[in-house]
Amino acid sequence: MVSAGVVWITYDCWIKETELGWLRHPRSRATTALGQALKEHHLRNNSDASLIKLKTAWDHMVSAQTKAGREWRHSDRNRTHALEDLYAQIKATDIDGQRRVNPEDYAAQYALVRAGNTAQDLVVLNAEFTGR
């Protein structure tokens, strides 16, 4: 994995830019996990292991949005383009347009989706990892 040279959005900026008001719009589990993965990525000095966790958290957030019938780009949390910025930063770590993910992580994620989610989740996950 390569994350050197990528200027990552800070955790504090992420929280501020994606805030909608915790009483009316609490963060979903997937969005909270994504924020935590971003925080850990900073704390671990942008390590490869934390990058894999961040990419996995991103995929889970997108999957949760898709499952709920929403497009993440149209999320209220993206009103300041924070989601788009993070997505661009994650994509910048891909090599030749290909996501580099540990095969065991992929197999575990695929098994989780297969065990408890819809066929649509499988299609999204398969499209995300095809050819990788």
Greatest mean pLDDT range, 6-10, 104-108, 117-121:
6-10
Interval 23-74: pLDDT, tens:
778 899 999 999 999 999 989 888 888 888 999 999 999 999 999 999 999 9
pLDDT at 58: 94
**Among the listed ranges 12-21, 55-64, 66-75, 116-125, which one has the minimum average pLDDT value?**
116-125
Average pLDDT, the chain: 77
- Confidence class for position 125, pLDDT limits 50, 70, 90: low
Residues 5, 8: Cα–Cα separation, whole Å: 9
Residues 57, 101: Cα–Cα separation, whole Å: 12
Comparison of pLDDT for 99 and 82, the residue scoring more:
82
Neighbours of 100 (CB within 10 A): 15
pLDDT at 2: 41
Residue ranges per domain, the chain? Answer: 11-97
List beta partners, residue 98: 95
The answer to whether the CB of 53 falls within 8 A of the CB of 61 is no
Comparison of pLDDT for 94 and 118, the residue scoring more:
94
The answer to whether the CB of 47 falls within 8 A of the CB of 8 is no
Residue 104 burial (CB < 10 Å; 0-12/13-18/19+)? exposed
Residues 66, 120: Cα–Cα separation, whole Å: 8
Identity of the residue numbered 19: E
